Amino acid sequence: MNRFFALWKREVASYFVSPVAYILATMFLVVMGVGFWFIANVRLMSGATFYELLRALFGGIGWVAVLMVIPVLSMRSFAEEKRSGTLEMLLTAPVRGGAVVLSKFLGIFVVYVMMWLPTLLYFPMLQHISGGSVEIDVGALAAAYLGVFLLGGFFLSIGLLCSALTENLIIASISSFAVITLIFLAGFLPEVSPVPALRRFTEPLSPILHMLEFGRGVIDTRAVVLYVSSTLLMLTVTTRLLESRRWRA
Amino acid sequence: MPTMIEVQHLTKKYPGSVVAVEDVSFSVASGEVVGFLGPNGAGKSTTMRILAGYLSPTGGEVKVNGLDVVRNGLEVRKRLGYLPETCPLYTDMRVSEYLRYRFDLKGPSRRHRRAGVERAMERCGLADVQNRLIGQLSKGFRQRVGIADALVHNPDLLILDEPTIGLDPNQIVQIRNLIRELAVSHTILISSHILSEIEATCSRVIVMHKGKVLESSPLNELSHRWFSGSQLRVEVKADAPEVEETFRSLDDVKSVTVHQEDEWACAELTFVTDADYREEVFLCVQGRGWILRELMAKRHSLEEAFVNMTTGDAGS
């Protein structure tokens, strides 16, 4: 546990000693802020309810921010260690590959969560702007954030795997961006597919629909299980990949 | 003495059928300081990386402290300190912070952390720079941080891959002294392609060339095996041709080379056996009535042994 905590602490700290986290957080909050401003001005004036605003924020503009931030947030994790050679120091220490991967994942996950935290301020603001006509549903809000964190966790684990595959940061970020975007775009299939069977099959898998549901305040356990297990799968694959140099002949 | 490292028929192939290490066997007893010698690309680093658990062997068996490095990797790594060739470090951390982090990863329990980190810093002369960022340190200090990292958790075995590479002569001497100090309580495996390095610190040398072990013997035996015939250097006040002729007539002389330096003739004599011929040479010089200003038995340097071993056909 001691070892794991040391790894995790180092991982989180590494983001804050370099400008990466600050630049990303700024970028993220600018995009979210502009989105929020737009939603608050345009949608609110046209009489949208709290739930509609929530869906617009999390199911709409939130995606842009997530697709932008996650590949950059996760690209350094293994690629940088490989490039600088510190992976050799890490893997020759008596720590399990699983602990290394999990600590890195929880490290970037915490940074990701921290980026979202300032957006909590939007809601008291929303209430203020609307002059009290918008009621804040805390339960729905919590569900929306849960959705953002579940999907974020899954995408971060994809980013981690991409990072473990290369020692080039650009390749790591572009490949994870490609994979995540592909998954995002596949989320439109239930709506655009001309084949009814494909529509039925992809509907329970669509991250876009999931996000809209979470944004409505609905926690679908199928979606929760899907993202948690997919994340664990990605982390397991990353661990195997990392340890393969030890057992691969 | 118990065996610390036991390597049997170790083979490592990289993708693309590059054979880095081929059928290498050696062992290192507990408490020994062994030098791993060989030209660049001989397979030293690959062997060390396998010992440290960073790479896996393609074939053969590697045991540290009786534990297999593949099956009991975690246990092996707990008892081993490793300094990679490139000495990679987190440049955004401070020296003491980095060593504390490494102790947390490798050390037995946090209670001993302060003592362990302080001892490592003191031994490696890092106390003055403990609050500096590693990225701002000179190459010499970084190397010392790497060594401090290797020994911070007080392991039984230290594997140091070219610990003095890129250091200035003063730093090299400091690191050598440090290694000698560490030798008292640790088993050490050091690699180098600088022979004086190995000569200065190790009691035994393993010579690798083209992925194979050429030699594994104590230092003094090594030069005996690779050279036959003692060598003498003689300087007398006489003419070179006359000196050459005189020395050639001595018993057991294999070859004589002489050159003139002003009025002094400097001769290099090689004999057919390893015996000490200084007395015979002195009597001969005395008999001719020459003035003698130097008579020295040449010790074969490891450099020569190394060149003999690695340029001959022994390795291929």
Give the DSSP letter string of A115-175. Answer: HHGGGGGHHHHHHHHTTT-SPP-HHHHHHHHHHHHHHHHHHHHHHHHHHHT-S-HHHHHHH
Q: To the nearest whole number, what is the mean pLDDT of chain B?
A: 87
On chain A, the residues whose CB falls within 8 A of the CB of B59 are 249
Q: Is the pLDDT of residue A246 over 80?
A: no
Asked if A16 reaches chain B (Cβ–Cβ under 8 Å), the answer is: no
At A247, is the pLDDT very low, low, confident or very high (cuts 50, 70, 90)?
low
Domain B3-224 sits in CATH at: 3.40.50.300
At B315, is the pLDDT very low, low, confident or very high (cuts 50, 70, 90)?
very low
pLDDT score, position B178:
87
Number of inter-chain CB pairs under 8 A, A vs B? 73
pLDDT score, position B314:
42
Helix spans in B152-252 (H): 169-183, 195-201, 219-226, 240-248
Interface touch A7/B105, C-beta < 8 Å: yes
Asked if B136 reaches chain A (Cβ–Cβ under 8 Å), the answer is: no
B114-160 pLDDT, tens digit per residue, is 999 999 999 888 999 999 999 999 888 899 999 999 999 999 999 99
A54-105 pLDDT, tens digit per residue, is 888 888 888 887 888 999 999 999 999 999 999 999 999 999 999 999 999 9
Interface touch B56/A248, C-beta < 8 Å: yes
Contact assessment for residue B143 and residue B86, using Cβ atoms and an 8 Å cutoff: no
Interface touch A92/B53, C-beta < 8 Å: yes
d(CA A149, CA A147): 5
Percent of chain B past pLDDT 70, that is, above it, reads 94
On chain B, the residues whose CB falls within 8 A of the CB of A2 are 104, 109-110
B81-125 pLDDT, tens digit per residue, is 999 988 999 999 999 999 999 999 998 888 889 999 999 999 888
pLDDT score, position B47:
93
Bridge partners (DSSP) of residue B258 are B267
pLDDT score, position A249:
47
On chain A, the residues whose CB falls within 8 A of the CB of B90 are 10, 14, 86
Q: Is the pLDDT of residue B316 over 70?
A: no
In chain B, residues under CATH classification 3.40.50.300 are 3-224
Contact assessment for residue B99 and residue B108, using Cβ atoms and an 8 Å cutoff: no
Interface touch A93/B89, C-beta < 8 Å: no
Summarize the confidence of residues A159-169 as an average pLDDT: 94
Topology of the domain covering B228-299: Alpha-Beta Plaits (3.30.70)
Asked if B174 reaches chain A (Cβ–Cβ under 8 Å), the answer is: no
Closest CA to B63 of B33, B30, B36: B30
- The more confident residue out of B37 and A103 is A103
In chain B, residues under CATH classification 3.30.70.260 are 228-299
Interface touch A88/B102, C-beta < 8 Å: no
pLDDT score, position A248:
54
Asked if A95 reaches chain B (Cβ–Cβ under 8 Å), the answer is: yes
Interface ipTM = 0.87
pLDDT score, position B49:
92
Residues 39-68 of A with CB under 8 A from B: none
